[in-house]
Structure 1
Amino acid sequence: MDTSGAAHALARVSAELTDVHNVAGGLVVLLRSCGTFLDTQATGLLIENARGELELLSSSTHGAAELEVLQAQLDEGPCIDAHASGEAVQAAGLEECQRRWPAFGQALEKGGYGSVHASPVRWQGSVIGAMGAFRRSDRAFGDDEQVFSQAFADLAAVMIVSLDEVSGADLRARLDETLASRISIEQAKGVLAERQGLSMEDAYERLLDGAAEAGRPLTEWAGAIIADAQGRS
């Protein structure tokens, strides 16, 4: 494993931990940094909602979001298994993916992915979600890569919950608040796609770029786009 690359990736994510007002943006940085180092083309995060069901929280790309949402809808896939077992899950090659997850395996083939890995997202002994990584090649994830992936999943938990001590009720409130922020991001993505004639993938990139250029938290920037659209309607 490239220890220099790992150090830079972890340093970038650690810097995001200091900004408690930009959790949504920080999670995108985390997922993209993890994906860059692991040589994956899609990474995403599913988190338990108040009903105990997994729900999309963040993704590196729109395509990654679609993979994570599909797992939640099918109740099938590596993130579902990692959340249920509390252990890392991986499959290399489409044959293994389709054997383990028939419906989701077909989606992987259609999307051009050949290997997958999922790490549980844990907080104080509880599994609160899972982080999935999807690679176009059929190369398996090595031991060091799996350790690195789990480290990023643990950092995601810290970023979501923050470093404060939280009770069970406070944890639920934090998760609900973070999940709610995803709604505004999806709405803003739709506004940009419709206004500018973009694909949802390109609209997501435009949203991220706009927040970065404006120096504003991602959720705040998404809210501004929605408010502007409502003002024009």
Structure 2
Amino acid sequence: MPQQQRLAEVFVELADTLVVDFDLIEFLHRLAERCVELLEVEAAGILLTDQADELQVIAASSEQTRLLELFQLQSRQGPCLDCFATGRPVRVADLAAEASRWPLFSAAALDAGYGGVVALPMRMRERIIGAMNLFTAPSTVLAVDEATTVQSLGQAMADVATIGILGERAAREHQLLSQQLQIALNSRVIIEQAKGMLAERHQTSLDQAFAALRAQARNTNRKLADLAQAVIDDDPAVAGLLHPQHDPGRPVDNG
């Protein structure tokens, strides 16, 4: 298959995140594998931020690469950390020649069989959610134009993946928000019905009925909607507990 056609297929694959059974870890492992396949690099590792905005190793093309990425986090030095901190790519063609830049990481990378690295931010506009490392073998010496191509294509793949991840996350959050809103609307209907029943039952105002309902919910540590449903269902456990104070402005019907 021609390289350009394969690239096009991969970009479509990376953009396809809005699916019901989206699996982030599988998606990022696939990204790492596609980078190795198409960019002629030896390995790839991907780190994303957690809820505390701390980088975590999420995917790697091999176990050896995963361990190297973990070591990078533990030693608090390396290209991925610099890339994430600045939001800019970091490219080192010869780690041995620039070992002083990250002494611990460079030694570990060389020991793992990697000679060079390109770190790319996973970024959409000003938002950075992680970084991706592309490793080359010591025997792979890329010309300047080849290294630039690897960096450009790698960044494009990282960008598409980032947009896909954030799009899927936004869609999921929107769906959750819609569900929460619908639940709130449904609950409100139940509460309004219970208010009306209490006001009628005790010949009081709707405001006082609602105040009594809220007070009882707090005192019994129950959700307001659950207590309202119990009122509607004439649950004997709550029937005798709700006694809204009578509104002096409203006459009492003694029958």
What SS does the corresponding residue of 1:98 show, helix, strand or coil?
Answer: coil
- Tell whether the 8 Å contact from 1:42 to 1:63 is kept in structure 2 after alignment: no
Partner of 1:119: 120
CA RMSD after TM alignment: 2.7
Correspondence 1:96 to 2:97: yes
Partner of 1:144: 149
Return the TM-score normalized by structure 2: 0.59
Paired AA for residue 84 in structure 2: H
Structure 2: runs of 5 or more not aligned = 174-255
Shift of 1:75: 1.3
CA distance in 2, matches of 1:53, 1:15: 26
What SS does the corresponding residue of 2:100 show, helix, strand or coil?
Answer: helix
CA distance in 1, matches of 2:77, 2:116: 15
CA distance in 2, matches of 1:17, 1:116: 31
Correspondence 1:158 to 2:163: yes
Q: Considering only CA atoms, is the larger Rg found in Structure 1 or Structure 2?
A: 2
Relative contact order: is structure 1 or structure 2 higher (C-alpha 8 Å, sep ≥ 6)?
1
Partner of 1:76: 77
Residue-by-residue CA offset, 1:161-189 (whole Å, 9 max, x unaligned): 334647xxx6xxxxxxxxxxxxxxxxxxx
Count, aligned residues:
169
Paired AA for residue 31 in structure 2: L
Identity among equivalent pairs (%): 30
- Tell whether the 8 Å contact from 1:20 to 1:162 is kept in structure 2 after alignment: no
- Tell whether the 8 Å contact from 2:114 to 2:136 is kept in structure 1 after alignment: yes
**More helix per residue:** 1
Query: 1:165 and 1:21, CA in 2 relative to 1: closer, same or farther beyond 3 A?
Result: closer
CA distance in 2, matches of 1:159, 1:60: 20
Question: In the TM superposition, what are the counterparts of 1:47-58 in structure 2 within 5 Å?
Answer: 47-58=48-59
Query: 1:15 and 1:126, CA in 2 relative to 1: closer, same or farther beyond 3 A?
Result: closer
Query: 1:16 and 1:33, CA in 2 relative to 1: closer, same or farther beyond 3 A?
Result: farther
CA distance in 2, matches of 1:61, 1:19: 28
What SS does the corresponding residue of 1:100 show, helix, strand or coil?
Answer: coil
- Tell whether the 8 Å contact from 2:87 to 2:121 is kept in structure 1 after alignment: yes
Query: 1:20 and 1:160, CA in 2 relative to 1: closer, same or farther beyond 3 A?
Result: farther
- Tell whether the 8 Å contact from 1:89 to 1:118 is kept in structure 2 after alignment: yes
Structure 1: runs of 5 or more not aligned = 171-233
